[in-house]
Each structure stands twice: as structure tokens, then as C-alpha cells.
Structure 1
């Protein structure tokens, strides 16, 4: 059996605190359809889903063409906001150091996110993270969470079994995806879904800080 181990991270709410930008972009998108402001608590609930799925959840009574229109308006608004001077979605405290430590310990690193490929590239640019992730799975190329496709493809690209992989995320969608793929599910408490929901969705452990990540991974996957 291969000794390689893969740690796959969600982006929004796990590595990066982007909820303010997501809320602002969704508000702009809704305003272009005269829908009024979307409730922040509802927007937090859909972070992590692919954009079409998120719009369908937020607007369950609207026709499909409205979902598609809002999704396109959201992408344009998010791009507009990202280009504004002073825009910054910060990494959560300890995220960069955790990535450094895992690399030093021989872990392969990956991303599995509901963001678009363009959004991921912007994140990598903003935080100088290019070259850190050997596999990057986005909503552009895979079924949305909680379907297991992102993780199964990540494992295939890295040539490992699903049991040698862990998914680190902040939403129940991440935990359900990991469970469906046969990967270890590790939740974080600083993101956008309550801890109780992460546990109910299958999280083996809940982290309160990135400093505990390496130990949690060793406990769930085992030593290389």
C-alpha cells in the first residue's frame, strides 16, 4: 500500500474568511433582479455549495432561469468586488503555518471547493499559494458537494486510496462528501456551519484551531 497521504481542504470558511465578500456579491446579484437583500444567515448556510445549487436553495420558489441569472450576476459582482482597491479576504489564523507543517511532514495537499476555477486562482494569487496543492477540484469540473466526485477525482489524480485521504472543512456538505468518498472527515469550528451539524454529518473530529490539525490527521489516517 502507498505511504502517501492526502489532506484536502475546503476554501471558504476553512482556509479563508470570505463571508463578507460572498454576502456583498450575493446582495448585488439579488438587487439586479429586484429581489431585495438576501438574509445573511441563509447565505452562510449555502457557502460551500456550487453556485447553481446555492441559488436554487436560496430561491426555491423562483424559476430555473432566475437561478441561472442570479448565478451569473453573482459571478460578475464577485469579480467586481475582488478588483476594488483594498479588497482582502484573509486566511484564517494559522492556516499558512499548518500547510507548511503538513508539507514538511510529507503530506500531499489538495483543494475541493464550491468556488469556480477563476475564484481559486484569485485566492492563490492573493495569498501566494501557487504550487502548494497537487490537486485542485472545483465546481467547474465536478458535481457539487456533497457528491463525492471531487474527492474521488483527487484521490485518483494522486494515485492513492480514499482511506489515505482526509477532507478538512467547515460545512456539513464537506463532511457528507468525505463520508460518501470513504475519506476521513475533519471539521473546523471557525467556519459557517454549527459544530453540531458537522458531527451529525460524520466529522470524526472537530478542530478549534489549525495547531491541532497535524495531530488530528495522524490520528485519523495514521503515520506515513
Structure 2
């Protein structure tokens, strides 16, 4: 996990924000790739065994169903073009993590709505990108 990510996720949790992950890793590999501190924060963790893998939108929709969040009230932070395509296909705000393995130009070309310059941008400020929730 990149430095700053866990701190940001903890601050989102403190704001009572649902947190899910969609990974291309298979469930049997999760103990090796998902640190316990992250696993404890997740309300949902979707693998290719749960839904078709990204860039298919069904994996993102599966995560949203598990956390009871509508697509227009969600963000997907991802570091790959496949993440951006999955977010867009699912109707979710696509935020490109430029500290990953793909250049910002590839994330933009794949549909990133915004680019995050470093992991410290993960936190409650992400929620400002979302439209207000209508009151009923």
C-alpha cells in the first residue's frame, strides 16, 4: 500500500463513508496482497470470483450493491486505465491515481474525471467531487 493511503481511508471511515475495493486478484491470494489494516477497513472486497473483472462495470456494481451506494454517489480511485473504464461504465466518478504504474495521460485517455497527484489526496476531500445527495 502506498504511504498516505491508509491514513486517508481511516479519515473516510471516521466520516462514516463506505469503503470497498475491486481487485483483479483472486480470493486465495488476498492474504498476501491486502494488508490486514486495509482488510479491516473494507465494507466489501470484490474479486473476479464475485463478478466479471474490471474493466467490466459489473465488478464495480457488485461493490456498490454490497455497500448500498448508488453509482452517482460513489468515487473509484484507481491507478490503471482499466479502473477508469470500469468506473465510467458503471456511472461512477473516476479518479486517476497518478502515483501508480500508468502515466497521467493514459488515465485521462481512459476517462479519468480528475487526477490525484499523490496518495495524501485520499480522504474526505474526495467527497467534494460528488453532487449533493438530494433530500426527500
Q: Same fold (TM over 0.5)?
A: yes
Match for residue 90 of structure 2 among 181, 186, 210? 181
Aligned-pair Cα RMSD in Å: 1.8
Equivalent residue for 1:155? 64
- What runs of 5+ residues in structure 1 fail to find an aligned partner? 1-90
TM-score by length of 1: 0.55
- What runs of 5+ residues in structure 2 fail to find an aligned partner? none
Q: Distance in 1 between matches of 2:25 and 2:43?
A: 17
Match for residue 50 of structure 2 among 130, 141, 153? 141
Classify 1:199/1:215 alpha carbon distance in 2 versus 1 (closer, same or farther; 3 Å): farther
Q: Distance in 2 between matches of 1:130 and 1:143?
A: 21
Equivalent residue for 1:93? 3
Equivalent residue for 1:111? 21
TM-score by length of 2: 0.88
Q: Distance in 1 between matches of 2:93 and 2:125?
A: 10
* 1:191 partnered with 2:100: yes
How many residue pairs match? The answer is: 133
Q: Distance in 1 between matches of 2:74 and 2:93?
A: 6
Q: Distance in 2 between matches of 1:218 and 1:130?
A: 22
Classify 1:159/1:116 alpha carbon distance in 2 versus 1 (closer, same or farther; 3 Å): same
The structure whose Rg is larger is 1
